[in-house]
Structure 1
Amino acid sequence: MDWLQLHPLYLYQGAAFPLALLFNYLCSMDSFSTHARYLFLLAGGHLLALAAMGSYAVLVFIPALCAVVLILSLSPQEVHRHTFFFQMSWQTLCHLGLHYTEYYLQEPPSMRFYITLSSLMLLTQRVTSLSLDICEGKVKAASRGIKIQSLLSEHLREALPYFSYLLFFPALLGGPLCSFKRFQACIQGSSSLCPGHFFWALTWKALQILGLECLKVGLRWVVSTGTGLEDCQQLECIYVMWSTASLFKLTYYSHWVLDDSLLHAAGFGSEFPQSPGEEGYVSDADIWTLETTHRISMFTRKWNQSTAHWLRRLIFQHREAWPLLQTFAFSAWWHGLHPGQVFGFFCWAVMVEADYLIHTFANRFIRSWPVSLIYRTFAWAHTQLIIAYIMLAVEARSLSSLWLLCNSYNSVFPMVYCILLFLLAKRKHKFN
């Protein structure tokens, strides 16, 4: 999702906080049954979707309804294949509508449509995560076939947990991916509103958001008063790329912390105890690691961490040939297949492959501490510049912007890794 589209989401995510706190408070009451909790989350999701997306909300409701029908109708062996095909087909059609508006009609799409596409991408994560859980036996579907003679109320009762999971308001517009098992455990557990550390955690997250926003205001002023890629000259383009990419990253960090705070306020955060065999809570923003790592592969695993885990489980672990390239190719498809995304994710895959070889080679020969420190410093700087290059490519909204980036001095940084990849590929068997 383009960083420019994140700003309206702050308003809607912020407006959902009172609803999240109310839900957490009601969960502390014995009279607030599990059934009522599912309904509350589902109703909140519908209200938030209508407020944020308007009439476009139907583009999210329809695939959610179809996914539940498929889950209740198909066998565990078939459910993932069919839900994956339907969900990605629906999302792709919506992205093609965006392409048609942007590139053919040359008109700016509605901001509500951007928010709808963002929510659809998150819905795809939850649908495929749930279908994989069913396929792997981690979750047992409530029914194996829709029987005509069964009462409508029985069907609705069976479908309610799935509808609630796919459309629950704390994760509708953002937030780390929450597995269905964890969702159910949080629904059936007691509220986490009482402990004092709950409020301290929210206060700390609020201070993080405030600090990130202050940094963002200062950096935006620097970027707006300086030259762009179209006006920069030679080495100046490196600074322009780095400062612009830093603004992108701060925007994402702030949004991820806000999403995490909303889930925390509703009782779905990391403070909820983890059951044996249950997937733990994975936060999207590990800012310290992202800003200090000297390895592109580590940055890739920590960037939007829950999505990285989802892609690994959905694609990487099920592909024997070129799993890394296929994972990044699917990520480009999931993001919408804009020209900059196709180029950026392909470049990212090559850089990760080069990263493995380069650091394996370096760790084999670098022994002394001073040389290791110098190497890590240069590797950190190179990693940050390559990530900035990839980020600007992915965020490019036109072929002209992508050409400006590729035709600048910034292309030297990924080219260095490409050359090293070519030189070291022949020695890969020795490293193994």
Structure 2
Amino acid sequence: MDWLQLFFLHPVLFYQGAAFPFALLFNYLCITDSFSTRARYLFLLAGGGALAVAAMGAFAVLVFVPALGAVVLIHSLGPRHVHRPTFLFQMSWQTLCHLGLHYTEYYLQESPSTRFCITLSSLMLLTQRVTSLSLDIFEGKVEVASEAVGSESSLPKRLWKALPYCSYLLFFPALLGGPLCSFQRFQSRVQGPRSWDPRHSLWALTCGLQILGLECLKVAMRWAVSVGAGLTDCRHLQCVYVMWSMAGLFKLTYYSHWILDESLLQAAGFGSGFGGSTGEESFVPDADIWTLETTHKLSLFTRKWNHSTAQWLRRVFQQGRTWPLLQTFVFSAWWHGLHPGQVFGFLCWAVMVKADYLIHTFAKVSIRSQLMWLLYRTLTWAHTQLIIAYIILAVEARSLSSLWLLCNSYNSVFPMVYCILFFLLAKRKHKCN
């Protein structure tokens, strides 16, 4: 139950809820054309600064420093050289902060400050926006006038030029959560005209009902988990139920958070269906619950889980020529903080995805009967859900003791089955080639 106590004490929900009226106010003022473009950028930036200070306290400096550093690098380096230094600077800063968390948890044996944990979460999201922006500049999608260090342009002029980038990196609807919004989409929504869409009210009602339903399910699931045995005292196949129910509770919490975060972006006018310009990048929601809960393909689940982050990871590593899948999952472990459970969980996930590709390719050419295909889909759906439950608990476990409890239970049979099939099918494929 220690994992659950750490996971469900989320003041982030309070701060996201508190930011909601300001997001609606911003959208309303843009619709009524009461704001100039600069005023819109300043409103979003000031809101981000205020939200950071309220949620993180003095730790907000740890977010402001890399954001300003990224803006300086963007304006100092040429488009062809901006991505790698910016990426390394941001990840180095984030890693130092994660090492501070490691020091507190593992060396001092103390519980980390809640505000510090919120800061780390915000830093991870900032890394997404920084790398997305630097890649856009590198690929020529966003043009930035490089500013030499000894340039004679006035300080106010430099600040106005940097305002859109500072505002993007710290704008309050995406500071503590939400799908990744590209700079192109952000700039288009800030600078472009707004109009009220009647579907806005229907969308808000739908999101509210979804969150309410998920919270009711969480209450029921939390009660089932609290009255049952844990991984420390479960026996044999009972551990499978314990793993499934605990992972289900984690998933429901993720879904609820993602929908709330997406709602905040939508309320501010950065979501889908609110007067976007032609050619604008599409809005990618993180919570495709139907696909996640019904797919029998682990690879499809992986692409849809935290969808905008999955797209961001593929974009960063899609040009890698050697082991791009492994690079992606190794970086995911690094980005999340390199806790023991995270390293094990993401490496296990990489092997499972590779096995999933081979298994479904083999089944596609081998299964002819409709009945056998239905049985195959049912079994692989159940196996996919159980493997994902195993990975979620491994990633959330963090410590070696909690990870050992999971690995030493009957639940390890499920990833082992895919590992065995992976080696057998890989050997068969090698012989055929």
TM over 0.5: yes
Match of residue 231 from structure 2: 229
Q: Distance in 2 between matches of 1:297 and 1:70?
A: 36
Alignment root-mean-square deviation, CA:
1.5
Task: Confirm or deny: 8 A CA contact 1:44 1:169 kept in the other structure.
Answer: yes
CA drift at 1:257: 0.1
2:185 counterpart letter in structure 1: R
CA drift at 1:397: 2.9
Task: Confirm or deny: 8 A CA contact 1:5 1:114 kept in the other structure.
Answer: no
Q: Distance in 2 between matches of 1:185 and 1:428?
A: 48
Aligned residue among 209, 212, 226 for 1:210: 212
Match of residue 262 from structure 1: 264
Match of residue 100 from structure 2: 97
Aligned residue among 292, 295, 299 for 2:294: 292
Q: Distance in 2 between matches of 1:30 and 1:8?
A: 34
Gaps of 5+ in 2: none
CA drift at 1:365: 1.0
Match of residue 167 from structure 1: 170
Task: Confirm or deny: 8 A CA contact 2:194 2:275 kept in the other structure.
Answer: no
Query: How many pairs are equivalent?
Result: 430
Q: Distance in 2 between matches of 1:300 and 1:214?
A: 26
Match of residue 186 from structure 1: 189
Q: Distance in 2 between matches of 1:168 and 1:6?
A: 24
Give the SS at the match of 1:27.
helix
CA drift at 1:431: 8.2
Match of residue 415 from structure 2: 414
1:401 counterpart letter in structure 2: S
Do structure 1's residue 129 and structure 2's residue 132 form an aligned pair?
yes
Mapping of 1:278-427 within 5 angstroms?
A: 278-315=280-317, 317-427=318-428
Give the SS at the match of 2:51.
helix
Match of residue 13 from structure 1: 16
1:185 counterpart letter in structure 2: S
Q: Distance in 2 between matches of 1:394 and 1:31?
A: 46
Match of residue 141 from structure 1: 144
CA drift at 1:422: 0.4
TM-score by length of 2: 0.97
Task: Confirm or deny: 8 A CA contact 1:54 1:112 kept in the other structure.
Answer: yes
Give identity over the alignment, percent.
74
Farther-moved stretch of structure 1 (402-411 vs 270-279):
270-279
CA drift at 1:200: 1.0
Q: Structure 1's 298 and 326: CA in aligned 2 closer, same or farther, altered over 3 A?
A: same
1:330 counterpart letter in structure 2: F
Task: Confirm or deny: 8 A CA contact 1:72 1:146 kept in the other structure.
Answer: no
Gaps of 5+ in 1: none
Mapping of 1:35-50 within 5 angstroms?
A: 35-50=38-53
Q: Distance in 1 between matches of 2:18 and 2:290?
A: 28
Do structure 1's residue 54 and structure 2's residue 65 form an aligned pair?
no
Q: Distance in 2 between matches of 1:239 and 1:280?
A: 39
Farther-moved stretch of structure 1 (63-72 vs 318-327):
318-327
Give the SS at the match of 1:232.
coil
CA drift at 1:147: 4.2
Q: Structure 1's 430 and 198: CA in aligned 2 closer, same or farther, altered over 3 A?
A: farther
Q: Distance in 2 between matches of 1:31 and 1:142?
A: 29
Q: Distance in 1 between matches of 2:336 and 2:95?
A: 9
TM-score by length of 1: 0.97
Q: Distance in 2 between matches of 1:310 and 1:430?
A: 35
